[in-house]
Amino acid sequence: MLQLPNQTAYYKGKVRDVYFISDTFLAMIVSDRISAFDVVLPRPIPYKGQVLNQIAAHFLDATKDIIPNWKISTPLPNATIGYKCQTFPVEMVVRGNLTGHAWRTYKSGKRELCGVSLPEGMKENDFFAQPIITPTTKAHEGHDEDISREEIIQRGLVSKNDYEQLEKYALALFQRGKEIAHQRGLILVDTKYEFGKIDNVIYLIDEIHTPDSSRYFYLDGFEERQKNDQQQKQLSKEFVREWLMEHGFQGKEGQHIPAMTDEVVQNISARYIELFEQVTGTKFQKQEMTESEMLNQLTIAIQKLPRNTLS
């Protein structure tokens, strides 16, 4: 844990360390910790934090014409400084294909997910006619839970006006993400967005279009693989979940996390780097930094924040 200038609070999440600065800003350090099924796995993944932070920064910059976002600067490869927002207690999950949790729900025989009707006759990974939104509650600990649009509004988690605006933003962001992914030979399959408010203005917060929050398929060969009932070639964290399930772990009570060998850890790291390079079209540059160097760079960035907002 660092001690930053004007620090007022600290929060350690599953994979991020968040430092609140003067109750107006925050510094988010994306660690190499990795979680799946809402459980933090026992071993960190080298360079994962750098990958997530830099992809998120890339897409925050590429979508700021759609909605303002929390990012001010990225002083470190694995850290971003931005505005502190009042967070909406839901996550907006947008799905373009019947994949992952949606497919598992469909395969079980259910034809509704988060209040959204799912058509008959679909195969795993098929495109929906239009992207669907399947929101979840936002849990600080434990599992996020599926919830419907109607229940969110009825329970007063988000006002009707705000929720309708969140839907518009989420679909516009997803469309932009799909367009960028297509240029890189990928399909953005599904993703989640988080939003907050400052002075009644809605902001996009947290990460966006990273392998932790999103799933990508390779565009080349997609149709042929679907036609032949073959698994899609994908870039996402789903392969980590699949590895855990193969070893008898789904985050349920009484289950034990399987041992992660050096080979498994290095394979996961390589997959994250592969996604960075595929999504951004740039070569990944591994960067090492000591804690004192991190502290120095973050301090300089904090000192550049508007001084009248610092106590």
- How far apart (Å, rounded) are the C-alpha atoms in residues 37 and 183? 31
Residues 145 and 63 in one domain: no
Residues 118 and 171 in one domain: yes
The last residue of a domain, from among 235, 262, 297: 235
The last residue of a domain, from among 210, 235, 260: 235
Q: Which residues contact 267 (CB under 8 A, 6 or more apart)?
A: none
Domain count, the chain: 2
Q: Is 292 helix (H, G, I), strand (E, B) or coil?
A: helix
Residues 261 and 296 in one domain: yes
Q: Is 281 helix (H, G, I), strand (E, B) or coil?
A: coil
- How far apart (Å, rounded) are the C-alpha atoms in residues 244 and 251? 9
The last residue of a domain, from among 207, 235, 263: 235
Q: What's 308's DSSP letter?
A: G
Q: For residue 301, what is the domain's CATH number?
A: 3.30.200.20
Give the pLDDT score at 241: 86
Report the half-sphere exposure of 205 (CA within 13 A, side-chain side): 24
- How far apart (Å, rounded) are the C-alpha atoms in residues 137 and 5? 33
Residues 210 and 252 in one domain: no
Give the pLDDT score at 237: 80
Give the pLDDT score at 211: 84
Residues 15 and 56 in one domain: yes
Residues 174 and 76 in one domain: no
Residues 124 and 27 in one domain: no
Residue tagged 């090492």 (tokens): 288
- How far apart (Å, rounded) are the C-alpha atoms in residues 90 and 15? 19
- How far apart (Å, rounded) are the C-alpha atoms in residues 240 and 38? 12
Give the pLDDT score at 140: 58
- How far apart (Å, rounded) are the C-alpha atoms in residues 195 and 92? 8
First-to-last alpha carbon distance for the chain, in angstroms, is 21
- How far apart (Å, rounded) are the C-alpha atoms in residues 68 and 295? 28
Give the pLDDT score at 109: 97
- How far apart (Å, rounded) are the C-alpha atoms in residues 203 and 256? 38
Q: What's the whole-model pTM score?
A: 0.90
SS3 content of the chain, % helix, strand, coil (to 5): 35, 25, 40
Q: Which residues contact 88 (CB under 8 A, 6 or more apart)?
A: 138, 157, 158, 162, 166, 194, 195, 196, 197
Domain span holding position 62: 7-86+238-309
Q: State the 10-residue block means of pLDDT for the chain, 311 residues long.
A: 93 94 95 91 95 97 98 97 97 97 96 97 98 89 82 97 98 98 96 97 96 92 97 84 91 92 93 91 93 94 77 43
